[in-house]
């Protein structure tokens, strides 16, 4: 008997053999298998667009946080190049760490994303207010630097966790090719970063300032990130966890709202601790923080039916102007600096057309003391500063109300950009700009060369350089590279009028011919200068000049 191998029996109703059992279809090549289906209240296409919108908004908020920290580091700690490098490098490193840590959160991506966004909204929203208050009260550079780095790392850590979680959410909606999903997600992320980067300097900073802008950004972050995802993927969290998540999101918004309501009080208390005295004016302009402290109190009208009360006769504290936390003007002794800056330059034989770079009005006061001046062009980057010099009674009086003079014309522009444009030449150019600000661009070879191009034949240029040191010699080298002959000098020394001992600044006077240090005979005698003292300081600085050539500072150094 021949045994035949057994064959599968045919199903009833079929003549031939049955087909082999089919395998379930696998995902297409390059697709990512979803972790599990989640019921969502929208069609997949609409749900996917909503997740991409959340990515767009979160990216915009993340870049605003980053720019807030960069700006705050430059304002509070100085040396903007170093602070920018530290913030950006720490932020990018922390984002990488956050992306790695997010791999452990993809089991419940919607819940994890909601928690990440709540933490990011709270940390980023309170970052500016917290760092500013800590800097004002701690008064310790290393502590402020450590707090800035720690805050940057934490924000970067949370931002880095966003993309892996968003990618998982997109794949939970609909399985698709990983490359296409990543392209859409990164496109939304980058466009959102563009919007955030433009909104910070052109909308948030001038409209509401840094602290309130960060709080508003945190609220948008919490609403767009956590609330949208919690609504779209509300079936993912366990039933008991859903009220807790919504409550947490609501508490974050409540904390941000409370901080926004107290922002003014916190900023005033921090400024009081930092600057002391009577704060006359405080504002964050588009370019810098401006704080004016001290001076005589503004006299207000007496109430109806009441006699005017004679104020108690106490010496008023000196007027102090701070720009980005640095003392720019001390009203008790500023005349020594501005007389030294302006008076030797105005001793030229012809000083009719004058250009003043810098708009606090104090160098302009010294220029207008000379009766031969026919016109003065003032160029100031920050219009908020020139407006303050006009309307504040104490600062306007300290400058002798210079902006009321019909010979004065004011232009709001970056002095470097303004010098690049075509325009008239001037008999005297006075640069009353901080040589250490903005990476030293106002003492750079490019800036000084453009200023020399605007100098009329026989004209003079005077430049503030800061204390005797590398800044002085690099500024002198920049003027020499422009073809001018230079004389470094210093003004009169004296007691510190604002309680801070500041090293006496140095100046450089330059012209096509070597200028002689002198004072104009037709102007009122200065309070602090004599010709002998000027020439004596020039001789001392000439003896202290470093041996060998000094390289001028460049914008690309």
432 given a catalytic annotation: yes
535 neighbors 517 (Cβ within 8 angstroms): yes
What phi and psi, each to the nearest 5 degrees, are found at residue 181?
Answer: -65, -45
Q: Quote the CA–CA distance of 90 and 152 in Å, as a whole number.
A: 7
**SS3 assignment, position 333:** coil
Angstrom distances, CA of residue 247 to CA of 115, 126, 233, 235: 11, 19, 16, 17
What tokens appear for 114 in the block? 């909601």
Task: Cite the DSSP H helix spans in 306-412.
Answer: 334-346, 362-368, 383-391, 393-398
505 neighbors 471 (Cβ within 8 angstroms): no
What phi and psi, each to the nearest 5 degrees, are found at residue 328?
Answer: -100, -35
Three-state secondary structure string covering 219-243: HHHHHHHHHHHHHHCCCCCCCCHHH
Expressed in angstroms, the distance from the first to the final Cα of the chain is: 100
Active-site annotation holder among 432, 493, 532, 557: 432
- Non-local (6+) Cβ contacts of 186 within 8 A are 163
Q: Phi-psi bin for 27: left (phi > 0), alpha (psi -120 to 50), beta?
A: beta
320 neighbors 334 (Cβ within 8 angstroms): no
Q: Quote the CA–CA distance of 484 and 449 in Å, as a whole number.
A: 9
Q: What is the dihedral of CA 217, 218, 221, 227, to 10 degrees?
A: -140
Q: Quote the CA–CA distance of 391 and 369 in Å, as a whole number.
A: 21
What tokens appear for 216 in the block? 């508003």
544 neighbors 521 (Cβ within 8 angstroms): no
What tokens appear for 277 in the block? 């005295």
Angstrom distances, CA of residue 399 to CA of 297, 332, 403: 17, 12, 9
Angstrom distances, CA of residue 81 to CA of 149, 210, 307, 321, 442: 15, 20, 56, 24, 15
Return the residue matching tokens 């926004």.
260
70 neighbors 87 (Cβ within 8 angstroms): yes
Burial 499-528 (b: 16+ CB within 10 A, else e): eeeeeebbbbbbbeeebebebbeebeebeb
| Angle at alpha carbon of residue 261, lines to 223 and 59, rounded to 5° | 30
Within a 10 A sphere around the Cβ of 43, how many other Cβ atoms? 11
Angstrom distances, CA of residue 2 to CA of 5, 6: 10, 12
For the annotated catalytic residues, the residue numbers are 432
């Amino acid at each position: 008997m021949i045994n035949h191998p057994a064959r599968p029996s045919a199903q009833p109703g079929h003549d031939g053999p049955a087909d082999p059992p089919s395998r379930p279809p696998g995902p297409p090549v390059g697709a990512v298998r979803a972790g599990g289906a989640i019921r969502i209240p929208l069609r997949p296409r609409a749900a996917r667009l909503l997740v991409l919108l959340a990515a767009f908004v979160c990216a915009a908020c993340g870049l605003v946080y980053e720019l807030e920290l960069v700006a705050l580091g430059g304002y509070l700690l100085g040396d903007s190049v170093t602070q920018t490098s530290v913030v950006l490098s720490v932020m990018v490193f922390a984002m990488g760490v956050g992306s790695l840590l997010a791999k452990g959160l993809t089991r419940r991506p919607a819940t994890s994303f909601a928690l990440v966004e709540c933490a990011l909204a709270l940390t980023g929203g309170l970052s500016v207010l917290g760092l500013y208050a800590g800097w004002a009260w701690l008064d310790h550079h290393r502590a402020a630097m450590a707090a800035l780095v720690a805050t940057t790392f934490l924000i970067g850590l949370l931002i880095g966790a966003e993309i892996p979680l968003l990618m998982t959410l997109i794949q939970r909606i609909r399985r698709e090719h990983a490359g296409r999903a990543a392209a859409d997600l990164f496109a939304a992320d980058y466009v959102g970063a563009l919007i955030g980067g433009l909104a910070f300097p052109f909308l948030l900073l001038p409209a509401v300032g840094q602290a309130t802008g960060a709080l508003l950004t945190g609220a948008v972050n919490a609403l767009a990130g956590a609330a949208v995802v919690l609504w779209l993927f509300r079936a993912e969290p366990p039933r008991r966890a859903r009220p807790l998540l919504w409550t947490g999101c609501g508490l974050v918004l409540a904390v941000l709202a409370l901080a926004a309501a107290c922002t003014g009080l916190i900023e005033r208390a921090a400024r009081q601790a930092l600057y002391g005295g009577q704060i006359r004016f405080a504002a964050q302009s588009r370019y810098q923080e401006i704080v004016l402290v001290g001076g005589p109190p503004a006299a207000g009208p007496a109430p109806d039916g009441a006699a005017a009360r004679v104020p108690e006769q106490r010496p008023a504290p000196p007027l102090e102007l701070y720009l980005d936390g640095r003392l720019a003007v001390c009203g008790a002794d500023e005349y020594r600096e501005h007389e030294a800056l302006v008076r030797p330059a105005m001793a030229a034989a012809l000083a009719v057309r004058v250009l003043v770079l810098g708009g606090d009005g104090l160098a302009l006061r010294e220029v207008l003391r000379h009766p031969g001046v026919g016109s003065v062009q003032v160029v100031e980057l920050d219009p908020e500063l020139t407006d303050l010099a006009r309307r504040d009674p104490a600062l306007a009086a300290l400058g002798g109300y210079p902006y009321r003079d019909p010979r004065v014309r004011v232009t709001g522009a970056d002095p470097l950009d303004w010098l690049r444009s075509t325009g008239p030449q001037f008999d005297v150019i006075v640069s009353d700009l901080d040589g250490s600000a903005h990476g030293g661009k106002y003492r750079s070879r490019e800036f000084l060369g453009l200023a020399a191009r605007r100098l009329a034949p026989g004209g003079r240029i005077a430049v503030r350089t800061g204390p005797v040191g590398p800044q002085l010699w690099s500024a002198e080298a920049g003027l020499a590279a422009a073809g001018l002959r230079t004389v470094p000098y210093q003004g009169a020394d004296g007691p510190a009028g604002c309680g801070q001992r500041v090293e006496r600044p140095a100046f450089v006077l330059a012209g096509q011919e070597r200028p002689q240090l002198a004072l104009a005979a037709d102007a009122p005698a200065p309070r602090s200068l004599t010709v002998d003292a000027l020439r004596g300081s020039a001789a001392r600085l000439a003896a202290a000049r470093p041996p060998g050539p000094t390289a001028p500072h460049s914008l690309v150094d």
